[in-house]
Structures are given as C-alpha cells and as structure tokens.
Chains A and B, each alone.
Chain A
Amino acid sequence: MTIFGWGVFKGMMVTLKNFLTSYFRKPDEGGIFTVQYPEEREKAIENFRNFPFLVYDGSPEKIRCVACGICERECPPKCIHIEMEIDVAGKPTRKPAVFDIDYGLCMNCGMCEEVCPFDSIFMDHAFEVTAPERNEGLVRNKKELSKSNEYFQKVRPTLASSIDQKRKAAEEKKKAAAAPQGVGGQAQPPQGQEPK
C-alpha cells in the first residue's frame, strides 16, 4: 500500500525540479530552450532557403543571368519580371535590363533555383524582409537582388562550392573543345542541375 498523498508529493517534486533546473541546465538537458529572438539567434541551417537572389562573379556587371526567362515562366505565382537588354544595334545582349522580383508575391518555393540552367538564381537566407508599402517596398529590382558569389559561398557553402566546381569543369571542357575546332558554335549550357 502506498502512503496517502505520495503521488501529490511526487508531482510537486517534479515541478520543483523543473523550476530549479531551469536556472542552470542547458537547453537539451532540461533547461530553458527559448531563444530570445532579436538578441539571440539560432544559427541558420545551410539548406534553409527563403527569397531568391541573383549571383554575379566579381563585379555586378558580370551577372550570371542571361535573361532567358525560364524562371519567369516557371514561377508559380508569377512574381518574376525580366526584360532583356538590347544594345545600340538593336541586338539582344543576353543580359537582363530589368529583373524584378515581388517578394510580397513570392511563395519561397525555390522553383526558379531548380529550373535555372545558368546557376544564376538561388535562394537566400535573409528572412527579415519588411516594407511599409505592399506594392513598392517589397518589389526588389536587379540592383538589390544582385549579390556576389562570395556572399553565396558564405550563405550556402556546400551548394556554392559544388556549383563553382561544375562551372569550372564546364569552362575547361569548353576551352578544350574550342582549341582544336576553333569557333565551335554557341556555348553549351551546363548539364541539368545536380540534385541538391
């Protein structure tokens, strides 16, 4: 026979233990696991992805995007708007003149990243996107969207380095192919995206 009230006592000891350990235990050992957000942040997981951005190599003029418009067509909520730049002779230059993404419309699906054959659009880690106006503040233009390859390396190192390797390999192949044949037609687009 158990003592009358023993269960009550045991229950109270459980809460007392929780109360005391909340002061000195670590989060995964039974302490407080609250992260006090604006001051403390959890380290972002590498594969976390939020809003798309454009990658350039070296300087913002050498943007990887060729304004092919595949992402514009594939984007489910149609939040991308691209216009190709046309030079003085009226010839398209394979560079975007206008590249707008409406972050207010974007649903963070990452489809643009998957379909892009030129490894130019990727998903960012920045999630604190605010604007006072729905229509103006959240539409990002080309200048705001362009971020350097170094930034990409910093944010998602695994993916960025694998992409860099692939690009390098493709370039060498192209060079090797160009050396004996001379001018060998247009540049081969890189093979389909590796599964990430």
Chain B
Amino acid sequence: MQNLLSSIDMIFVTAKAWVLSLLALFLPKWLIILASITISGVVILCLGPVIMMYLTLLERKLIGRIQNRYGPNRVGKWGLLQPIADGIKMFTKEDIVPANADKIVHLLAPIAIVVPALMIFLVVPFGKSMTAVNLNIGLLYFIAVSSITILPIFMGSWASRNKYSLLGGMRTAAQMISYEIPMTLAVVPAIMMSQSLSTNAIVLSQAGGCGLNWFIFTPWGIVGFIIFFLCATAECNRPPFDLPEAESELVAGFHTEYSGMKFALFYMAEYMNAFTLCGIAATLFLGGWQGPFLPSWVWFFGKTFVLICVMIWFRGTFPRFRVDHLMGFAWKFLLPLTLVNILLTALWQFTSNLVAWIGSILVLGISLWTLVKLNRTFVPEKRHYPLES
C-alpha cells in the first residue's frame, strides 16, 4: 500500500527518468542533460496555456453559477471544448494596429508579458521533487520575475497611443508597485521560519504532523497568508483590484487597442499569473504539496485550485475599488500589518507555545484595531437646513 502510494506520488518523476534512460542508450551525455532541460521546459510550456484555457472556462462557469445562470455549456460536454473554440476564434481574428501606434513596442508588449508569467513556473514545486529548477533563491527569483510584468503592460499601454490605454497603464504601474511591497513583506515570515529562500526548502520545513504542519495554522501564518493572497489578487489585476482594465471607466484599460491573439496573450499572462501566484501562496503558507494520504501533486493542484476559486469568488462578489482607496489599503493598512506580522514571527520563535498564541492574538488584535481606527474615512456630519417657515 505504502509502496503503491509512493509510486503514484512519483509517477511524473519516474516517467521522466524512464524517458531519459531510454535516450541514454543512444545519445551522448551532454545531450541527455539538454534533453532533461527540454522535457521540463516543454511540460511547462504546455502546462501554462492549458491551465489558462481551462481557468477561463472555470471562471465563466463559477461566475455564471454565482449569477444564477449556466456558464458556457454548448461546445462539447459541459462546454469543455469552449476554450478551444475561443482559441480558434482568437487566431482567426483580424489584428488591428492603431495608425499612430508605436508598431514595434505594440507588437513586443504581448510577447514580453507571457515570458515572466511562464518563468515563474520554474520555481513552483508541483510535487515531491517536481520543481523544475531547485533554485536556492527561488522566492527572490519569483518576486523579481513577477515584478517584470509591469513593464510589458506599460509598454502596451504606452505604444497604443490611446488615452484609456495610458490611464490603464499608469494605474497598473501604481497599483502593482504599491502592492509588491506588502506582498514581499508578507513572504518574509515564511522565509524567517524556514530559514531558506528555496521554495522546496520552505515546503519541506512545513513537514510533520501528519502533513498538516502548515504555516497557516499559526497566527502569523494566517495573517501573512491573507495579506499575501490579497496582494496576489491585486498583482494579477483581478477584481476587486481590476482598476487597470476597469471596463466601466477605461473601455478595457491597457489592452484597449489589442485584438486577436495579442489580446489573448495578455489574458494568458493574467491567468497564468493568477495560477502561479496561487501556487506560491499554497507553497508558502498551505504547506505546498504536503498533506496526508493523497499524492503530493494532487495536494498541490488541489490547494492551488481552491485558491483560484476563491479569487473567482472575489470577482463574483465585490465591486471595484476606488483608486485612492486602493492605494490607501496597500500603504496605510497592509504595509503596517505586515511589519507587525514580521515582529510577531520573531517573537514566535523565542516563546513557548501557549504564551506565543495569546501574545500574538493580543498584538494582532490591538494593531488591527488601531489600524482600523486610523484608517477610518472622515465622514462629515450631515448638515441640516431647516426650512424657513
């Protein structure tokens, strides 16, 4: 039984090793290394778009159910071929470039935006020894690469020569730079506790306790997770933080002037970012692929998809933020809270269990209360003008 479970657990790793050993029969050693890289690369390059395609379907289905209607259900059983039909439609659409656009940058932006989205996949641990590249600075790499996403979006918005695009791009830059700070600081507790920047090591440090020794079951873990998740939602421009592409205000924001496959590439990057950010959130705070009974990759994908469903749930529930509220939320609420959280994590390591729990709940409660009080919006007293009799 144990044997079977572990063999299912390692099924992808074994498959790759088997293919490589087959190739080793008639290829020199340096080509084998190249083949190993190619296999991982091809798997990721296929996984990204496929995940994106079916995330769009999942999103449309869930949003539909939330709004009391069926989602797409015409193409194939349960609409399972809908993403393919959408893909064909996108490919056959006319590619329109505005007359005054900066043609080269306009073309480069959608190409460049997919690259960082795919690059993040490299450090995501999909399962036990299923990280494509086990970087010892994996988390740093993730933060660095994910912040590149701003650049192609701004390229696209600037090159379109459209005021709505430009406004959307400006908003993106402001929003993503602001939310990167609390996101990075929310990650710090996990790094402190696992004492490593490698995503693999972070997952391994959450081992034990029947595979349920996750960081989220500690006070600093849950605060860090919530902050990280909110910032991740803001990072991939999903509602309620979708100011960059606010339909009601900016037509479509930074991708107003894009059509056909270029537009689809922007969407692809957005959904792949949503997936990787959820994957990293699961890795950092939900124990990654750790979990009882089931194979590691099932746990990882399960956790990730639960988080994605929560993102979609957010989209089905909340209206859009106002720009100043958005900025205020990041700078005046999330940022101080992350700093308090880092302090808590430091205290957690040096105190006994019960004291730490009570202490951290106290500190969190007080800081939350203070922050709410400080962030209260000023509502002037309603003035009454009595009618002259």
Q: Which residue of A lies closest to B372 (CB)?
A: A4
Does more than half of chain B's interface fall in helix, strand or loop, or is it mixed?
Answer: helix
For window 9-57 of A, CB contacts with B under 8 Å fall at 11-12, 14-16, 18-19, 22-23, 30-34, 36
Partner of A23, one of B65, B314, B317: B65
- Cα separation A32 to B67 with both chains bound (whole Å): 9
Cβ A15 vs Cβ B368 within 8 A: no
B62, closest chain A residue (CB): A19
Q: Which residues of B contact A23 (CB under 8 A)?
A: 65
* Complex-state Cα separation, A98 to B62, whole angstroms: 57
Instruction: Report B60 CB to chain A, min CB distance, Å.
Output: 13
Chain A neighbourhood of B314, CB < 8 A: 12
Could you tell me if B313 and A18 are in contact, using CB atoms closer than 8 angstroms? no
Task: Assess whether B68 is in contact with A22, with CB atoms less than 8 Å apart.
Answer: yes
- Size class of the B contact interface (CB-based, 8 Å): 10 to 19
Give A10's nearest chain B residue, CB to CB: B317
Interface 0/1 of B366-377, CB less than 8 Å to A: 001000100000
A32 to B66, CA, bound (A): 10
Closest A residue to B69 by beta carbon equals: A34
Min CB distance, B366 to chain A, in Å? 13
Q: Are A12 and B68 in contact (CB under 8 A)?
A: no
Q: Which residue of B lies closest to A12 (CB)?
A: B317
Which residues of B lie under 8 Å from residue A32 when comparing CB positions?
68-70
Distance in Å: Cβ of B78 to nearest Cβ of chain A = 13
| Interchain nearest-CB distance for B182 vs A (Å) | 17
A26 to chain B, nearest CB (A): 12
A18 CA to B66 CA, complexed, in Å? 5
Q: Are A4 and B70 touching (Cβ within 8 A)?
A: no
Q: Knowing A4-B368, A4-B372, say if A15 contacts B68 (CB, 8 Å).
A: no
Interface residues of B (CB under 8 A from A): 62, 65-70, 313-314, 316-318, 368, 372
Q: What are 18 residue pairs bridging A and B, where the CB atoms are less than 8 Å apart in the complex?
A: A4-B372, A8-B318, A11-B317, A12-B313, A12-B314, A12-B317, A15-B66, A15-B313, A15-B316, A18-B65, A18-B68, A19-B66, A19-B313, A19-B316, A22-B66, A22-B68, A23-B65, A34-B70
Given A22-B68, A32-B69, 11 other A-B residues pairs in contact with their CB atoms under 8 A? A4-B368, A4-B372, A12-B313, A12-B314, A15-B66, A15-B316, A18-B66, A19-B62, A19-B65, A22-B65, A33-B68
